[in-house]
Amino acid sequence: MPGRTPYEAYRAFVTPLAKALACVAIAKIQASAGGMSVMHRDHHLYLTRQGYGDYVRLKGERGFELRARMVYRLIEDPRPTHGPIRVTTRAYDYSLRLTTGEAVVDYHWHPGGGSHEELPHLHLGSAQLRQDGVIGNKHHLPTGRITFEGVIRTAIELGATPLHDDWFERLRDTEDLHIRHRSWSADPSREILR
């Protein structure tokens, strides 16, 4: 997301995420130290109620909890419609689980991390699997990059209660803003860091 200063770029990035989160939860999005101003260094973004990377409870009969973490950088962007500074996402970890602790679905993208799988993927959680199933929760199922809004939409489709009647429009509008400014391809076979 673009801005004239690092702080403006950070705000342009996090404000739509906060609007999307508000569709299903009352929680804050927190940045690691320096995450609003320090350029060219990895920063962490996460949901919080009490501490780092908390799961936040979503309303609904199913009893879901959501955790979201992102790694991002503030960088220069020479494109005239995108700069001079913007945020670029470097990795993410979105997790939807039942309040009993059973995983439902985890969306991961962690290039350069400890896993052999560096492309975006998902893991089906134990709440979705049979003991003798073909797919286990350790399998990496390719997805392409997933937006935070896509995760919120999935939670609602699975039974989380939206907190606003216009949740669909809110998610569409914030996701469209992100898509307009992204620098990555929608084709998972072409995923690279930019």
The reported pTM is 0.84
- Looking at per-residue confidence, does 136 or 2 come out higher? 2
Considering the chain, what percentage of its residues have pLDDT values greater than 70? 83
Do 155 and 58 contact (CB within 8 A), yes or no?
yes
pLDDT at 117: 80
pLDDT at 127: 76
- Looking at per-residue confidence, does 72 or 134 come out higher? 72
How far apart, in whole angstroms, are the C-alpha atoms of residue 49 and residue 53? 9
What dihedral angle (degrees, nearest 10) is formed by the CA atoms of 120, 53, 112, 150? 20
Pick from 31-45, 77-91, 117-131 the range whose average pLDDT is largest: 31-45
Among residues 70, 63, 71, 69, the alpha carbon closest in space to that of 24 is found at: 63
pLDDT at 188: 43
Do 110 and 169 contact (CB within 8 A), yes or no?
no
What's the pLDDT tens digit per position in 153-170? 999 999 999 999 999 999
SS (H, E, C) the chain: CEECCHHHHHHHHHHHHHHHHCCCCCCEEEECCCCCCCCCCCEEEEEECCCCCCCEECCCCCCEEEEEEEEEEEEECCCCCCCCEEEEEEEEEEEEEECCCCEEEEEEECCCCCCCCCCCEEEECHHHCCCCCCCCCCCCEECCCCCHHHHHHHHHHHCCCCCCCCHHHHHHHHHHHHHHHCCCCCCHHHCCCC
pLDDT at 49: 66
- With a cut of 60, say whether residue 194 has pLDDT above it: no
How far apart, in whole angstroms, are the C-alpha atoms of residue 176 and residue 155? 19
Averaged confidence pLDDT in the chain: 85
